[in-house]
A = this chain, B = another copy of it.
Amino acid sequence: MSANAAMLVLEDISACGPNPAGSPIDRTAAESMASLLKAVADPARLQLLSMLKQAANQEACVCDLTAPLGLSQPTVSHHLKVLTDAGLVTRERRGSWAWFTLVPTQLENLKGFFE
């Protein structure tokens, strides 16, 4: 019996019988995907993303994003910062106003993970 065959046995047989689970994804990869998911796993932030998705050019001014959420202005600003730090939106100043734009590639990234 070769060493490889022995290793196969160790991988395929367990105390409970055959059919053990595969190897988990890398811890580092898991942490980075979890960070991205955590940025999205909040009702207020999902509402913000949904508004941006509907908006023309998938961009909107903060002044139009705050009131519909029913949260204070600092809280909405905080949530937008979380989304920005996660790379899900970009921030841009236009005169007095701050505009936020969806980053589609990051959303593709999320969707792709569940395929």
Contact = CB atoms under 8 A, between A and B. Distances in A.
Contact of A25 (B17, B25, B50): B50
Contact of A43 (B31, B42, B60, B94): B31
Nearest to A23: B68
Contact of A34 (B43, B94, B111): B43
Interface string A37-78: 110111111111011111111011101110011100000000
B68 A15 contact: no
B55 A20 contact: yes
Given A16-B61, A16-B63, A30-B46, 4 more contacts: A24-B68, A27-B47, A110-B114, A111-B114
